[in-house]
Amino acid sequence: MPTAWDRAAAGYLKDWAPRFVPYHLDLVRELSLQGGERAFVPMCGPGAEVVGLARVIGERGFIRATDSSGEMIRIASEQLRSGGFETRSEFAVAEANDVSGGLWDVIVCAFGLWQLVGASEENEAASPNAVLRSWASALSPRGKIGILVWGPSEDGQPFELLRDCVRELEPAKAWPNAYDGARRESMRKLLDDAGLEMVRHSVVRHTLSFRSAELFVNAMRESGALRRTWEELGDARFERIARAFYEHTGGPDVPLTFRPPATLVLGTLPGANVELDVHPSYPSFRPPGG
């Protein structure tokens, strides 16, 4: 049966993938790959990081990309083929903790890990901690794990404002605030618990623009993280959330331009001797006034 992400996939490719590409490229660049690596991309979505990796590891490399959405996998595979890349690849519908095919030289997950927050309530094996442990178990001795997550938390940022409106009006549909989990000590502990050593923690920002607040809400509702919420609530109840959001933005027609922070984390097995750029490309996050 098609999932909410299956139904959102085509819109995600149009509305979100082009806006997020700069973040994906940051992650691939920071991994300092040399070419020829065996790469695993769980929760690959429409495949922006798959394409970014293929550019670097080339025809000598191999990529296995998985996602729980069959439609996302179809699109990701199509994106790689249409780009004319000669990298050997395999695409499969699978859960994030399925590390079949390892050992891996690099494991890359962009904006997927925090979707698992709260999963332990139903299935502990699908929690971020358990999934990271499975990735660590499939990492080659000098392998690297690269993760992107949204955050740290920042007041007034549209993603968070919309989440707060859901929490206020439909508390049963609110999702956990995972943004603060992106901070250095939280991420270090997450990796430590998985048997990994954090070797880089940086915050990157890129400009996202929407012609109107309404277009932003529509993208979140139809092709983003709120697709399932919208389907469960229906149009009328979701419109209450949208109206509350517009009160914060000044109306549905007001343009939105913002630079959401995303945390970029690299991890290795303890003591692994890996190649990284000598100087981080981005400074670590410092809160305003901090």
Would 226 be classed as within a structural domain? no
Burial 148-161 (b: 16+ CB within 10 A, else e): bbbbbbbeebbbbb
Count of structural domains, the chain: 1
pLDDT of residue 118: 61
The three-state (H, E, C) secondary structure of 139-171, written as one string: EEEEEEEEEEEECCCCCCCHHHHHHHHHHHHCH
pLDDT of residue 289: 36
Domain that holds residue 82: 4-154+177-208+258-268
d(Cα 96, Cα 12) in Å, to the nearest integer?
19
Q: Considering only CA atoms, which of 35, 88, 90 is closest in space to residue 57?
A: 35
pLDDT of residue 122: 61
Q: Domain holding 37: CATH number? A: 3.40.50.150
β-strand 38-41 against 104-110: which pairing, if any? parallel
The 8-class DSSP code of residue 267 comes to E
| Contact assessment for residue 42 and residue 96, using Cβ atoms and an 8 Å cutoff | yes
Would 214 be classed as within a structural domain? no
Would 197 be classed as within a structural domain? yes
Q: Supply the pTM of this predicted model.
A: 0.92
pLDDT of residue 167: 95
From first to last of its 290 residues, the chain has per-residue pLDDT tens of 889 999 999 999 999 999 999 999 999 999 999 999 999 999 999 999 999 999 999 999 999 999 999 999 999 999 999 999 989 999 999 999 999 998 999 999 999 988 887 655 567 777 899 999 999 999 999 999 999 999 998 989 999 999 999 999 999 998 777 787 899 999 999 999 999 999 999 999 999 999 999 999 999 999 999 999 999 999 999 999 999 999 999 999 999 999 999 999 999 999 998 878 754 444 443 333 33
pLDDT of residue 282: 46
Would 26 be classed as within a structural domain? yes
Would 213 be classed as within a structural domain? no
Would 248 be classed as within a structural domain? no
Would 218 be classed as within a structural domain? no
pLDDT of residue 114: 84
| Contact assessment for residue 129 and residue 192, using Cβ atoms and an 8 Å cutoff | no
E strand map for the chain: 38-41, 62-67, 88-93, 104-110, 139-150, 197-205, 208-210, 256-258, 261-268
Would 45 be classed as within a structural domain? yes
